[in-house]
Structure 1
Amino acid sequence: MRSHPVLGYGLLVLFVFWVTANRASSSSLHCKRYGGDETRPHSVTITEFGAVGDGTTLNTKAFQNAIFYLNSFADKGGAELFVPAGRWLTGSFNLISHLTLWLHKDAVVLGSTDPADWPIIDPLPSYGRGRELPGNRHKSLIFGSNLTDVVITGENGTIDGQGSGWWQRFRNKTLDYTRPHLIELMNSNEVVISNLTLLNSPFWTVHPVYSSHVTIQNLTIRAPPNSPNTDGIDPDSSDHVCIEDCYISTGDDVIAIKSGWDEYGICYGRPSTKITIRRLVGETRSSGIAIGSEMSGGVSDVHAEDLFFYNTNNGIRIKSSPGRGGYVRNVYVSNVSLLNVTTAFRFTGLYGEHPDDHYDPNALPKIERITFKDIRGKSITVAGLMQGIEGDAFGDICLYNVNLQVSASPPWNCSNVKGYSDFVSPQPCELLEQCVFPDHCSECYHLSSDDDDEQRNQKRRKGARLLSW
């Protein structure tokens, strides 16, 4: 894992020590590795198209012209656009298939502070409108649609959205359209985003939507803690997404998995599935990993492991509401450390926020088979605030080997949830007190249900030792 200077030496050492010590207990999740040494047969430098890296010259046309030129090599093995050292101011530009955008370590791509340089585009069909305002939305700084084989990478170069003006307009309620993302790729396949520093996004930072086989590795993502809605990475109605070896400190969710909003997401019907998250360090005033609240197309098969969240409001959160429909199922989160976190686990069944008045209040979400395993936490205020929906309880919630140092009394607050637990401290709420072993393994996603008696006994004997951090 690359070093992250902003993390602080002490926290980084703690995280590396913890991952190393727990490596043997991790499940075998595999993601395609991008080594950064893959080369394209054709390459140009942005300066060949008149770009000036002085931080004040607007280079939108240079980026657009360079990529237009490189499109002629798409069927000849693809091409690379190299951004050398400098400060390269630009408005939005589109990528093409079979392209590598490569940033030198001292390259800084700066988003223009003029909203006119971020064009207006249609809303996403699974949202029916802009996420913040009815109607259209601004295009992201780096955008692509219907692409194959796209790489955005380099030597830890920087993309800075210069989002403070957008944040101020949001607070002042002077936006005309929904704010743009920093990077958004739609309806695309075989995407790699790696080895970059991403700063100050106007809105969500990395947004793969309606896409498949997306690999996101070795990113540092930062925005001020009071910056509104600057989520780190938001897989949205996408599948086979791998996120690993990232440090993220933003003003909103570190990772937020989504799949459309109320009746629009139900109609579009594309789930987020097969999402892998590994070796992640995060800090936020919101949640480390959030699912929802826009999950109307469904979310399933989420595997997350080797996580460290600190100075954070919520460790793991699932957000939904009547009117969402959809489902969240088969979620497995393991090997997590929490430090100075307000609520370790938070389920919200009445989140609200609807795109319009046309949603069906009887479209209830189905939340089931959620497993949290090998979780430890220090300086935790509340262990769990788990609130489902009356008449639509969140089911098969499983906690195994969870040890939290909690200050609140009572440590758990549960309603309209059902589930099981073993080796959990402090003692969970009554709705989760049935034992996982031996009768309820099959209800707990990814926990083995065919261990023999000796294996179960070994697990029980090891339980007390596993509870220590």
Structure 2
Amino acid sequence: MQDQHNLFAFHVRAFGACGDGTTSDTRAIQATIDRCAGAGGGTVVVSAGAYVTGAIELRSHVTLLLEAGATLLGSQDMAEYPLISARWEGVERTTHAPLIGGRGLQNVAIMGRGTIDGRGQPWWDAYHTKTLGAPRPRLVSFTECDNVVIEGITAINSPSWTINPVRCSNVRIQGITIRNPADSPNTDGINPDSCRNVRIADCYISVGDDCVTIKSGTEDERPDMQAPCENIAITNCTMADGHGGVVIGSEMSGDVRNVVISNCVFVGTDRGIRLKSRRGRGGLVEDIRVSNIVMTDVLCPLTMNLYYACGRWGDATVSDKQAHPVTSATPRFRHIHLSHITARNAKVAAAFLFGLAEMPVEDISLSDVTIGMAESAEAGYADMADGLELMERAGLYIRNARRIRLHQVEVRGQAGPAIRIADAHQIEISGCTTPTPAPGAPVIALQNVQGAFIHGCHAYPGTEVFVQLDDERSSGVALVGNHLDHAEQSLRAAVAAEPENIQITAEIER
């Protein structure tokens, strides 16, 4: 029953697994895991073959090794996924057990060059026909575990979320491939939820929802189960299709902080970097760094949306654009910095940042960012919120914001202003431009902006107006040391304003 070369290796075939693609091997695989754990730990080896299995549980100090040519096939018998209590979409509830899971474990791993095929089609069908009695199983989900490794495997056709550690610490997910059909519902790739010290690296992810989503529960979660998702590093990954490349929220009531996203490529995702929440969620997202990202064929490369409406469409509180009292249920986004980003063929907007009227997004910077819009695109919505206007090849849209810094940002091929900012305070725009100024539109449009320092910018030939004040409420706007020789007008007030309300300092190199 044990490998003669390794006394700590336990082979599932030695415990009765057939690997013929038909016979249920659930009991044999579970028996192997349990025997391995009973021996103090070791490696459970799944050799080449196709093993049909329902839900199985790992044990502490056990590595599940899927050798090349080995495939775990998710059972098509839904009874093989018993009902358990687990967090799903931000709150503890009754769900179907994951294909591979465990709770309260230490030192567990899933490794190798084999494949886990969730065979999710029956679950997707049941979801669409609303015949499910409980949420679908995830492919792999560990809860309250420490020192978790998932490495090298291929995961496909997950019934719902693919990899979902919950309240885990010291998690490493490296070199895995995830492929779910683009139209499969809610088949997110990797979703760390209220986890600490997570590293996601060298992965390829193509799914039917968000590729990587960082979560921390909702306002409906029990207080004793709320916890932040923190100290997260995502690097060297390629992400395709899906609704978002790397997403934070909307379940973020337990806070999300200390996140680094670097050296990634997004291809054909609806959004690239996406932060989303809404009134009632509470929670704080802060200290996020994004660098060295290349995107192609995305709807909108960057979104921060505090009016996220999915699941609450038409809700008067969520959708109201007037200021509400600030309470513990008010979500906040702050201290978020993005640099060295290239996006090509963006379709809806270059960026969409929409804070709450009572809680602006705060301390946000974009540096060395180049965004090229598609030559033609259908109008769409930059994010999911009530009351938004359709956009088509729009530039940066920023509303309800404080302490925004745009440095060396270039937008190409936009229809309308390259940068539009409304209801904002303390704005700095430096070294920003568009080589394709849109006819009849300013490069920068400001509305109700209090304090804007615009310097070191360059106007290309064809620029009609570089900065336009769209209403009489903007004040403290300074243009200093810009190169605006090619602009017909450096500054224009579209609406007459009293001098004491609009104070402009202009030092323009002409």
Identify the TM-score tier after normalising by the shorter chain.
0.7 to 0.9
* Structure with the higher helix share, 1 or 2: 1
Q: Which residue, out of 398, 406, 419, partners 1:414?
A: 398
Task: Tell me the equivalent position of 2:490.
Answer: none
Q: Structure 1 residues 409, 219: CA separation in 2 closer, same or farther (over 3 Å shift)? A: closer
> What is the one-letter code of the residue matched to 1:63?
I
- 1:366-385 alignment to 2 at 5 Å? 366-381=332-347, 382-385=349-352
Letter in 2 for 1:184: S
Contact 1:225 1:251 in 2 (8 A): yes
Aligned counterpart, 2:136: 179
> Corresponding residue for 2:43?
80
Q: How does 1:42-441 map to 2 (within 5 A)?
A: 42-74=8-40, 78-124=41-87, 127-130=90-93, 136-154=94-112, 156-264=113-221, 268-352=225-309, 362=327, 363-381=329-347, 382-407=349-374, 408-418=392-402, 419-426=404-411, 427-430=418-421, 431=424, 433-435=427-429
Q: Secondary structure at the match of 1:227?
A: coil
Give the % identical residues.
Answer: 36
How far 1:224 moved relative to its partner?
A: 0.4
**1:448 match:** none
How many positions carry a matched residue from both structures? 388
Measured against aligned partners, the alpha-carbon deviations of 1:36-74 in whole angstroms (never above 9, x if no partner) come to xxx975111101111111111001110111112112222
Deviation of 1:414 (Å)? 2.2
**Contact 1:109–1:159 under 8 Å retained in 2:** yes
Q: How many angstroms apart in 2 are the aligned matches of 1:195 and 1:227?
A: 23
Deviation at 1:392, TM superposition (A): 1.0
In 2, Cα distance between equivalents of 1:322 and 1:211: 27
SS of the residue corresponding to residue 72 of structure 2 reads strand
Q: Comparing both structures, which one devotes a greater share of its residues to strand?
A: 2
What is the CA–CA distance in structure 2 between the aligned matches of 1:125 and 1:283, rounded to whole Å?
Answer: 24
AA aligned opposite 1:395: E
Indicate how the Cα distance of structure 1 residues 99 and 171 shifts in structure 2: closer, same or farther if over 3 A, else same: same
Contact 2:346 2:393 in 1 (8 A): no
| Mapped partners of 1:265, 1:274: distance in 2 | 23
- Offset, 1:129: 4.6
SS of 1:321's partner is coil
- C-alpha distance in 2 between matches for 1:58 and 1:269: 37
Q: Which amino acid aligns with 2:59?
A: I
CA contact (8 A) 2:54 2:99 kept: yes
**Structure 1 contact 263–323 (Cα < 8 Å) conserved:** no
* Cα deviation 1:165-203 (Å, max 9, x = unaligned): 101111111111001110001111111100000001001
TM-score scaled to structure 2, two decimals?
Answer: 0.73
The answer on whether the counterparts of 1:266 and 1:325 sit within 8 Å (CA) in structure 2 is: no
Summarize deviations over 1:318-357 as a string: whole Å, max 9, x none. Answer: 01011111110000000000111110111121224569x9
Q: Give me the TM-score of the superposition, normalised by structure 1.
A: 0.79
Amino acid at match of 1:384: A
DSSP 3-state at the match of 1:297: coil
The offset of 1:208, in angstroms, is 0.7
Hey, what's the Cα distance between the residues in 2 that align with 1:190 and 1:385? 37
Structure of greater relative contact order (alpha carbons < 8 Å, 6+ residues apart): 1
Contact 2:92–2:221 at 8 Å: present in 1 too? no
Q: Give the greater-gyration-radius structure (CA).
A: 2
Change (3 A) 1:40 1:295: farther
For structure 1, the residue ranges without an aligned partner over 5 or more in a row are 1-38, 131-135, 438-469
Q: Tell me what 1:460 maps to.
A: none
- Give the deviation of 1:413 after TM superposition: 2.2
Q: Which amino acid aligns with 2:9?
A: S
Q: How many angstroms does 1:229 deviate by?
A: 0.5
In the TM superposition, residue 308 of structure 1 has moved relative to its aligned partner by: 0.3
When residues 241 and 109 of structure 1 are mapped into structure 2, their CA distance, relative to the original with a 3 A threshold, is: same
Give 1:290 deviation, angstroms. Answer: 0.4
| Root mean square deviation, CA, Å | 2.2
CA distance in 1: counterparts of 2:56 and 2:181, whole angstroms:
25
**CA distance 1:125–1:142, shift in 2 (3 Å):** closer
Where does residue 32 of structure 1 map in the other structure? none
**Local SS of the residue matching 2:185:** coil
Say whether the 8 Å CA contact 1:265–1:297 is kept in structure 2.
no
Distance in 2 separating the partners of 1:276 and 1:50: 40
* Structure 2 residue ranges without an equivalent (≥5): 319-323, 375-391, 412-417, 432-510
